[in-house]
């Protein structure tokens, strides 16, 4: 489990984890997704730390931009890439094969650029106007909540690609109910901190269900890019919900 945890950190972030701490075997990689909500704790704290340091020197607008930059550098834009590919694939493709082929293309189209711009504008708009006494909990909880839904997708869904050419093929494995419940532990901890976060979880679940059914209808399941898009969209939905609740 410890080996898998460090492998998950190295896979989902740009932290310099020594190779001796990781084991990129198929068995380990098939379980790194389980630790994604725990990675959300690290991402959320990193984002807030960048925001906190920045606001000591600048205003909230600049601090919000620098916090978003910190998140991008920390994660290597891992999930942003998924959102961009999904926007291009589902925006430009009609059949399943077209959608999958476009998502695999390394170039970015108009749909990808528009999706990333809208996502970052929304994140900036929320962070730059959020209550400062609530922003720590909002940032960290949204980073965690948004990362439970890729795990839920892997539990209920089917991997859409039939080949193993994608680097997500190893992690897109069926997980058990016990493993799913283990992944939800960070969310349970959040509810002990503030029960109102349940509102964000419920709204994010509705958004996830729409995405899950849409992906299933269009391509028969999900891909690694779909997981990234789910994370980005549910994170924004969580922030919007908390903004509406606490503002």
Q: What is the DSSP string of 26-90?
A: HHHHTTGGGGHHHHHHHHHHHHHHHHHHHHHHS-HHHHHHHHHHHHHHHHTTHHHHHHHHHHHHH
Is residue 223 over pLDDT 90? yes
- Do residues 231 and 185 lie in contact, with contact meaning Cβ atoms separated by under 8 Å? no
Alpha helices in 163-196 (DSSP H): 177-183, 185-193
CB-count exposure of residue 247 (10 Å: 0-12, 13-18, 19+): exposed
Could you read off the pLDDT of 75-133 as tens digits, one per residue? 999 999 999 999 999 998 888 999 999 998 888 889 999 999 999 999 999 999 999 99
pLDDT, the chain, mean: 91
Which residues on adjacent β-strands are paired with residue 159? 222
How much is the pLDDT for 169?
59
Residue 95 tokens read as 């059949």
Give the confidence band of 247 by pLDDT, cuts at 50, 70, 90. confident
Angle at 84 between CA 80 and CA 86, to 5 degrees: 115
pLDDT score recorded for residue 166: 60
Distance CA(198)–CA(155), nearest Å, equals 21
CA gap 88, 93 in Å, rounded? 8
Q: How far apart are CA 156 and CA 152, in angstroms?
A: 6
Mean pLDDT of 37-46: 96
pLDDT on residue 35: 92
**Contact at 8 Å (CB) between 44 and 141?**
yes
pLDDT band at 31 (very low <50, low <70, confident <90, very high): confident
**The total number of residues written for the chain in this structure:** 247
165, pLDDT greater than 60: no
List phi, psi (to 5°) of 120: -70, -35
**Angstrom distances, CA of residue 7 to CA of 2, 22, 23, 75:** 9, 5, 7, 14
Predicted local confidence at residue 168, as pLDDT: 61
């Amino acid at each position: 489990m410890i080996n898998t945890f460090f492998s998950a950190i190295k896979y989902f972030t740009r932290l310099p984890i020594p190779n001796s701490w990781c084991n990129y075997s198929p068995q380990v990689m098939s379980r790194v997704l389980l630790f994604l909500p725990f990675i959300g704790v690290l991402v959320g704290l990193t984002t807030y730390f960048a925001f906190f340091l920045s606001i000591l020197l600048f205003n909230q607008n600049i601090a919000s931009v620098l916090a978003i930059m910190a998140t991008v550098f920390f994660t290597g834009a891992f999930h942003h890439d998924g959102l961009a590919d999904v926007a291009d694939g589902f925006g430009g493709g009609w059949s399943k094969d077209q959608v999958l082929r476009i998502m695999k293309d390394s170039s970015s189209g108009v749909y990808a650029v528009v999706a990333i711009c809208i996502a970052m504008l929304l994140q900036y708009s929320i962070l730059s106007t959020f209550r400062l006494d609530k922003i720590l909990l909002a940032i960290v909880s949204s980073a965690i909540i948004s990362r439970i839904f890729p795990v839920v997708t892997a539990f209920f869904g089917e991997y859409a690609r039939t080949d193993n050419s994608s680097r997500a093929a190893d992690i897109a494995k069926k997980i058990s109910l016990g493993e799913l419940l283990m992944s939800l532990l960070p969310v349970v901890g959040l509810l002990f901190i503030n029960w109102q976060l349940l509102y964000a979880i419920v709204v994010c679940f509705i958004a996830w269900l729409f995405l899950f059914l849409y992906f299933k209808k269009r391509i028969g399941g999900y891909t690694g890019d779909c997981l990234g898009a789910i994370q980005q969209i549910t994170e924004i939905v969580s922030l919007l919900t908390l903004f509406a609740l606490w503002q």
